[in-house]
Every structure is written in C-alpha cells, then in structure tokens.
Amino acid sequence: MRIGVITIFPELFTTFLDTSLVGRAVTKGLLDVQVHDLRSFTDDRHRSVDDEPYGGGGGMVMTAPPWIRAVEELSGSRKPRRILLSPQGPALTDAKVRALAEEEELLLLCGRYEAIDERAIELVVDEEISIGDYVLSGGELPAMVLVEALSRQIPGVVGLPESVEQDSFRSGLLDHCHFTRPPEVNGLKVPTVLLSGNHAAIESWRGVQAVRATVEKRPDLLPKLRPEQLSAVQWRELENLGRSTEVGGQEASPSSVVATQTRDTE
C-alpha cells in the first residue's frame, strides 16, 4: 500500500516510520509512506502557509494554494483517495480501516492552526476522518494512527494473521483477556483452563470472556452485533447475563440461534 502524507512537520514521522511493525512493513516494502513538507509547495520567500482569517477572530488559517498545489502535484494521474484528518469528520472505526486498506493509494492531509481555508477542502479533499471527539493541535498524530491501523491490515505485517482477526471489534466483540508467565501474580492465578491443553475448552472459555468483556466495558457494541456472529456458548453467556435482547438485528429468532449452535458443534 502506498501512502503520501502532507504536513508542515515532516520530522514528526521519522521515528514512527522507523519503529516496530510499521518500520518493519516499510523495510519489507509492504508499506510505502512518503512524507512531504507543505512548505515545499509555497511560492513566496518565507514559505508561508497561513494568514489571518477573513472576518477577524483568533487563530491563523492555512492558505488554500499550497494545499491545492501539493495535492495536485503529488496525485499526478494516479488519483489517490485524499483524506483530511479533521475533528469534523466521522470517527475512525475498524470497518473504515478495513475499507481504506482496500485502496491502492491514500494521500493524508495534516492540518495545523485554526483551520484550512474551506476552498482547499472543497477542491482537493475526498473525505474527512477524525480520531475522536477532541481537538489536537495538528493532524500528524491522527495520520500516524491511521497509518498504523492500516499497516495491521496488510498481509505479512502482523506475524500471525489470526491475531488481527481476533482483535477487538473484528467479530463485533472485544478481544478476550490474555495471560502469560508467571502463573501467579500477587496471589492472582492464571485461569486453570488455560493450562489444561484442551484447545476446545480454551476456545470456548475465550469466547465467553470476550462476551463478558464487551458487556462490562463496551455494552454499546451489543446493538451492533448480529446473532450469527455469536457461537452458541457466547449466546448462552449473554442470556445468563440477561443481555441477549440487546443484540441488534435480531428478532431473537430461534432459527439463528439453532444455526449458531449447529456451527458450534461442527
């Protein structure tokens, strides 16, 4: 996957692109990230990218021409999807990350100051994406969030593809809890099932833990779940917790539950 980034602080990306899974993806050629300095697309001596707002008020506004020039020059004839990181866009989700991972090329625009001149947004931005309902000082961290999330979707970046599939949200639930050595920490023991070597029992236990974690930490996910995303064991756990009626897209249809029960025993 190819990703271009436009920013006035390209140096912020140096360590990020050299480190951990993203660094490895770049080194292996699975991910190509090119970071461009917006100031290289200015045409004045001071390489200025901002000016006072029309209408007055506080803060500086990023001028449109450098953005338009940068996006047009960097896009060439390839037509990458052009995304402005902005608190005003819809919040990034796992589904959105997966959809964007299908694109061949993205161009990420990192704003700074009070805003970018609206005409640049109208002319050279395809969509806005937010990383949450709070305001940062620039789009660089949100761009890194998006690049890192995308990198996990590229085959070969995460060692075990199953671990991406088992991550939170992918199945509609949160991930189950995890344990490693030592077997006891301050009197707290590892659940015995995890030491049993019984893979079916471990899978079933993990499925139940995923349901419990979701009910406890993110009950807002339940209405978005479909019954067929749950195994029979998970469905039973939801019923035991008195939460099965919150599962969305269901008429608590016995056929869907029977279908999942059948799948479970296969």
Ligand X SMILES: C[S@@+](CC[C@H](N)C(=O)[O-])C[C@H]1O[C@@H](n2cnc3c(N)ncnc32)[C@H](O)[C@@H]1O
Contacts 24+ apart (CB under 8 A), 218-227: 218/174, 219/243, 219/246, 221/169, 221/172, 221/173, 221/174, 222/246, 222/247, 222/248, 223/247, 223/248, 224/172, 224/248, 225/172, 225/173, 225/249, 226/172, 226/250, 227/252, 227/253, 227/256, 227/257, 227/260
By beta carbon distance, the residue nearest ligand X is: 111
**For residues 255 and 157, what is the distance between their CA atoms, to the nearest angstrom?**
39
Nearer to ligand X, 65 or 87 (CB): 87
Nearer to ligand X, 28 or 119 (CB): 119
Q: Which of 110, 121, 208, 222 binds ligand X (CB under 6 A)?
A: 110
Nearer to ligand X, 135 or 188 (CB): 135
Q: Per the residue annotation, which of 44, 114, 118, 126 is the catalytic one? A: 114
Min dist CB 53 to ligand X, Å, is: 11
> Pattern of binders to ligand X over 9-48, x per CB under 6 A?
----------------------------------------
**For residues 102 and 260, what is the distance between their CA atoms, to the nearest angstrom?**
30
Number of residues that bind ligand X (CB under 6 A): 20
Bridge pairing between strands 105-110 and 184-185: unpaired
Compute and round to an integer the Cα radius of gyration of the chain.
23
- Dihedral sign, Cα of residue 76, residue 68, residue 133, residue 17: positive
Nearer to ligand X, 23 or 87 (CB): 87
Nearer to ligand X, 19 or 88 (CB): 88
Q: Which of 20, 40, 88, 163 binds ligand X (CB under 6 A)?
A: 88
Contact between 86 and ligand X by CB under 6 A: the answer reads: yes
Min dist CB 103 to ligand X, Å, is: 18
Which pair of structure tokens corresponds to residue 114? 């009070």
> Pattern of binders to ligand X over 115-144, x per CB under 6 A?
xx-------------xxx-xxxxxx--x--
Nearer to ligand X, 149 or 158 (CB): 149
Q: Which of 4, 111, 172, 207 binds ligand X (CB under 6 A)?
A: 111
Min dist CB 137 to ligand X, Å, is: 5
For residue 218, report the phi and psi dihedrals to the nearest 5 degrees: -135, 60
Select the span of 104-112, 149-157, 202-210, 235-243 touching ligand X (CB under 6 A). 104-112
- Sequence-separated (6 or more) residues with CB below 8 Å from residue 101: 1, 150, 153, 154
Which pair of structure tokens corresponds to residue 94? 């796992």
| Sites for ligand X among residues 224-263 (CB under 6 A) | none
* Residue pointed to by tokens 């990023």: 62
Whether 148 is catalytic: no
Q: Per the residue annotation, which of 152, 170, 236, 243 is the catalytic one? A: 152
Whether 114 is catalytic: yes
3-state secondary structure 188-219: EECCHHHHCCCHHHHHHHHHHHHHHHHHHHCH
Q: Provide the binding-site residues for ligand X, judged by CB under 6 A.
A: 85-88, 110-112, 114-116, 130-132, 134-139, 142
Question: What residues are annotated to the active site?
Answer: 87, 114, 152, 167
